[in-house]
Amino acid sequence: MKSFHNIAELLRLASERQLPVHEIVLTVESEQKQRSKEELIEEMRNNWHVMHDSVKTGLKEGICSVSGLTGGDAPKLYRHQLTGFLGQAAVSAAAFAVAASEVNASMGRIVACPTAGSCGILPAVLTEAYEQGCSEDDITMSLFTAAGIGMVIDENASIAGASGGCQAECGSAAGMAAAALAEIGGGTPEQIGHAAALAIKNLLGLACDPVAGLVEVPCVKRNGFVAVHAMLAADMALAGVKSVIPVDEVIEAMDRIGKAMPRDIKETAEGGLAATKTGRALQKQIYG
């Protein structure tokens, strides 16, 4: 099968062949890597298990990073899900994202999807879908759709905070998560594209400004916010809301914005929140 180099090509292949988006990604991966589809599916299922385990581990009490900057917020937020303003699904998904991110900060096992700094977003929205009754098979296959979106972003922009700011990490993860949810929700290829576009474009320009250079503050809680953001993007697309700017043009804009961003807000810990009075004090406290 012909490979794809942008989202439009991926969605067109799915529409022309009347196949789910995940099947196109899976077929291309199988042919390029010369591995069986069954082997790739099993590997992706294992990835899902690690994602889910990272969420469940992070919801336990006692998780704390070596620096002491983060830990313990996920169970607090999860207990708040029934009384929160946003409703159970949104608050629990945010808690799931914080949970996986706190596991990462405490040197636990996670799946970088697409990066460690954004590792909570995709597991969170898929765990919420799983809690709502989505099958493990559907979740596993939706991860191929998410991977397809990530592959295109990586080829045409960046998934690294050091080159594109946090829009490249959490923004990419949001697009991947929204696309996966849109597929799980029965969305058409077109709706999957709109979900990704809506998620990414509303995070354009997001700074990567980790305090003390650690993937903790503001990264952990940011994962929680972005998980809810991705869910809303998927719901908008499934409701028939369209992104005026096509997803590939959104990715092109992400690339231009990333290149235009100052160095001090691209993972250097020299600007943004890292350069605040408290941020500098915490850095001195940690490193001496």
For residue range 90-146, list pLDDT tens digits in order.
999 999 999 999 999 999 999 999 999 999 999 999 999 999 999 999 999 999 999
Per-residue confidence (pLDDT) for residue 72, from 0 to 100? 97
Per-residue confidence (pLDDT) for residue 195, from 0 to 100? 99
Per-residue confidence (pLDDT) for residue 234, from 0 to 100? 98
Which among 160, 162, 60, 169 is positioned nearest to 106, based on CA atoms? Answer: 60
Q: Are 53 and 109 in contact (CB under 8 A)?
A: yes
Per-residue confidence (pLDDT) for residue 138, from 0 to 100? 98
Per-residue confidence (pLDDT) for residue 288, from 0 to 100? 85
- CA–CA dist 56, 50 (Å, integer): 10
- CA–CA dist 226, 202 (Å, integer): 10
Instruction: Give the whole-number percent of the chain exceeding pLDDT 90.
Output: 99
Q: How many other CB atoms are there within 10 angstroms of residue 62's CB atom? A: 8
Tokens of 8: 């439009």
Which among 232, 244, 273 is positioned nearest to 283, based on CA atoms? Answer: 273
- CA–CA dist 107, 110 (Å, integer): 9
Give me the average pLDDT of each 10-residue run along the chain (288 residues): 94 98 98 97 98 98 96 98 95 98 98 98 98 98 98 98 98 98 98 98 98 98 98 98 98 98 98 98 95
Tokens of 205: 């320009």
Per-residue confidence (pLDDT) for residue 25, from 0 to 100? 98
- CA–CA dist 14, 20 (Å, integer): 6
Per-residue confidence (pLDDT) for residue 106, from 0 to 100? 97
DSSP at 170: I
- CA–CA dist 151, 148 (Å, integer): 5
Q: What is the pLDDT of residues 66-89, one digit of tens each?
A: 999 999 999 999 999 999 999 999
Per-residue confidence (pLDDT) for residue 130, from 0 to 100? 98
Per-residue confidence (pLDDT) for residue 1, from 0 to 100? 83
Per-residue confidence (pLDDT) for residue 2, from 0 to 100? 84
- CA–CA dist 135, 138 (Å, integer): 5
Every domain of the chain and the residues it spans: 7-287
Phi and psi for 266 in degrees, rounded to 5?
-125, 65
Per-residue confidence (pLDDT) for residue 262, from 0 to 100? 98
- CA–CA dist 181, 187 (Å, integer): 9
Per-residue confidence (pLDDT) for residue 18, from 0 to 100? 97
